[in-house]
Amino acid sequence: MDSLWFSDICGHHVSPFTMLDFDQSCHRKHGFSLENKLVFSRKLYKQALTIARVVSPSQLAIVPSPDKEPVDPDQNHVAWTSVKQERWEGELVVQGEIPLWLKGTYLRNGPGLWHIEDYNFRHLFDGYATLVKLNFEDGRLIAGHRQIESEAYKAAKKNKKICFREFSEVPKHENFMAYVGDLSKLLSGSSLTDNANTGVVKLGDGRVVCLTETQKGSLVIDPNSLETLGRFEYSDSLGGLIHSAHPIVTDAEFLTLLPDLLKPGYLVVRMEPGTNERKVIGRVNCSGGPAPGWVHSFPVTQHYVVVPEMPLRYCAQNLLRAEPTPLYKFQWHPQSKAFLHVMCKASGKVVTSVEVPLFVTFHFINAYEEEDEDGRVTSIIADCCEHHADTSILDQLRLKNLRFFKGEDVLPDARVGRFKIPLDGSRNGKLEAALDADEHGRGMDMCSINPAYLGKKYRYAYACGAQRPCHFPNTLTKLDFVEKKAKNWYDEGAVPSEPFFVARPGATEEDDGVVISLISEKNGGGYALLLDGSTFKEIARAKLPYGLPYGLHGCWVPKK
């Protein structure tokens, strides 16, 4: 029989199993068989064996061993537990119906492996990237996951220690001279990670790239095999080490922001499909603060790029530190104020810079232009998942906080923050909630929209909200900005990842499509979930052979 390198789905130990051994082992230890627990019939075993790719033992150099995962059941939710093996692929049993028009691959990236040997990482964003795929065709679903082979991941496996600077983790130095050497490597960027664990985008030319906040962490992958094909080399000489983790990517262009830490500001750049060269659209100088604000994401309208300047700013001193600070590589500068800058995409001119109330956001949702009756643009609306100008969400995403949940309501409140930016020369913009945050349990993050409405007036967004008490966004929510209402989906104890909207080809209604999410369950299981974009009711789910760790952002690769 083909042998599959499987770890125990219940996280007890790691060893190679045949599929049958795997089942028997589960039965021995837990009193249930894989068949009962995972709705895996013998027939499906056979199917899985023919479809599943055989993984060589050498690919499993790093897998969790039992003593490294927390033993307290309150602390080992599969969402915050390292992925159980390097890779897997197989067909899933579908309950319900996958629409026949849904043809293509949903890819989701995220930090899925949070330890090297005995060393456990501290922050959610530190984990080595795990890429997941859900390939839909003819109502069937083939799923898979695979570790991204970044230099940082390969070096960690080889040397059995962290070798590059991650979000909060820094390689340990043997002595002071090694630390000084590392500082010089930091300036050149060579000590920064290329662990592309944040998102994945499909460029207009079809290339699929995994991304993180470092420019060197732009890695091209094969969307079918999930193999890492190599680094995406930017061929321009714009330099810099970091960029926004969320470029705006359409079939026509790739837009991103390059923060300038030396002369505080941002370059707004554009790359055409089929090229690797970013060209500068324009530059925005910061209006306050010693450094640019963190630009994890930014919004665009049809004619403008909105450059956010958050008071949560990059901090050169914190970048150099060996131990994480409470705000990691950032610092909170309320006195430096918050601004939004609006740049014309065609001319690169900054048409306005307005001061806005202090805010904290990872994710902008969308933006659009408002016009007067003569068709003149009078203002810009920009929506984001806003954390009430409170940076404590960064601390809440430490693994010890995520793993330790005793039922207290500790998730800081968030809302859909709606900015109004006047274009009449006024110096101030407004920030208000777009709807009553109680509609979505005062949790708000990880959003998506119908991509056809990017930069245009839109009505719906999909995001993660909260059913309290909770310590992490635990619902999927559909936001209706016209009715100012939300529809919520909830499964007790489950951690859903970003709801991703895929429009039905030919649809004329904004919400005509499906919403895809991957759910990590409290019993260690997991499933792919499909909701109807309009009713927000479940239309299909498919159980995975084992639950996957939490993931961040995804993209859709339609079948050619």
Ligand X SMILES: CC1=C[C@H](O/C=C(C)\C=C\C2=C(C)CCCC2(C)C)OC1=O
Residue 553 annotated as binding site = yes
Look at residue 10 and give the partner it binds from ligand X, ligand L25FO4UU, none, a contact being a CB closer than 5 to 8 Å depending on partner kind: none
Residue 471 annotated as binding site = no
552 counts as binding ligand L25FO4UU under rule CB under 6 A: yes
CB contact at 8 A, 31 and 10: no
Cα–Cα distance for residue pair 353/343, rounded to 1 Å: 9
Output the CA torsion sign for 333, 336, 340, 341: negative
Which two three-digit tokens encode residue 91? 């067909």
CB contact at 8 A, 301 and 455: yes
CB contact at 8 A, 474 and 496: yes
4 counts as binding ligand L25FO4UU under rule CB under 6 A: no
Give the burial class of 103: count Cβ atoms within 10 A of its Cβ; 0-12 exposed, 13-18 middle, 19 or more buried.
Answer: middle
Cα–Cα distance for residue pair 343/414, rounded to 1 Å: 28
Look at residue 213 and give the partner it binds from ligand L25FO4UU, ligand X, none, a contact being a CB closer than 5 to 8 Å depending on partner kind: ligand X
**Residue 171 Cβ vs ligand X, minimum distance, rounded to whole Å:** 13
416 counts as binding ligand L25FO4UU under rule CB under 6 A: no
CB contact at 8 A, 549 and 196: no
Which two three-digit tokens encode residue 179? 């630390």
Start-to-end CA distance of the chain, whole Å, equals 35
Enumerate the H helices of 331-425 as residue ranges. Answer: 392-396, 399-403
362 counts as binding ligand X under rule CB under 6 A: yes
**Selected binder of ligand X within 25, 81, 214, 218 (CB under 6 A):** 214
245 counts as binding ligand X under rule CB under 6 A: yes
**Residue 214 Cβ vs ligand X, minimum distance, rounded to whole Å:** 5
Cα–Cα distance for residue pair 393/473, rounded to 1 Å: 11
Nearest to 415, CA basis, from 396, 432, 391: 432
Look at residue 192 and give the partner it binds from ligand L25FO4UU, ligand X, none, a contact being a CB closer than 5 to 8 Å depending on partner kind: ligand X
CB contact at 8 A, 71 and 12: no
Cα–Cα distance for residue pair 218/231, rounded to 1 Å: 6
402 counts as binding ligand X under rule CB under 6 A: no
CB contact at 8 A, 248 and 227: no
Tell me which stretch binds ligand X (CB under 6 A): 63-71, 210-218, 227-235, 300-308.
210-218
Report 210-269 residues binding ligand L25FO4UU (CB under 6 A). none
**Selected binder of ligand L25FO4UU within 167, 232, 362, 527 (CB under 6 A):** 362
Cα–Cα distance for residue pair 81/302, rounded to 1 Å: 41
3-state secondary structure of 315: coil
Tell me which stretch binds ligand X (CB under 6 A): 190-198, 384-392, 398-406, 490-498.
190-198
242 counts as binding ligand X under rule CB under 6 A: yes
Residue of minimal Cβ distance to ligand X: 213
CB atoms within 10 A of CB 99: 16
Kindly write out the interface string for residues 541-560 of this chain, putting x where it contacts ligand X by CB under 6 A and - elsewhere.
-----------x--------
Q: Which residue lies nearer to ligand L25FO4UU by CB, 222 or 408? A: 408
364 counts as binding ligand X under rule CB under 6 A: no
**Residue 244 Cβ vs ligand L25FO4UU, minimum distance, rounded to whole Å:** 11
Q: Which residue lies nearer to ligand L25FO4UU by CB, 124 or 134? A: 124
Which two three-digit tokens encode residue 183? 């500082």
Q: Which residues are annotated as a binding site?
A: 246, 296, 363, 553
> Interface residues with ligand L25FO4UU (CB under 6 A)?
198, 362, 393, 414, 445-446, 473, 552
Binding-site residue numbers for Fe cation are 246, 296, 363, 553
Binding site for ligand X (CB under 6 A): 125, 165-167, 192-193, 197-198, 212-214, 242, 245, 296, 314, 319, 329, 362, 552
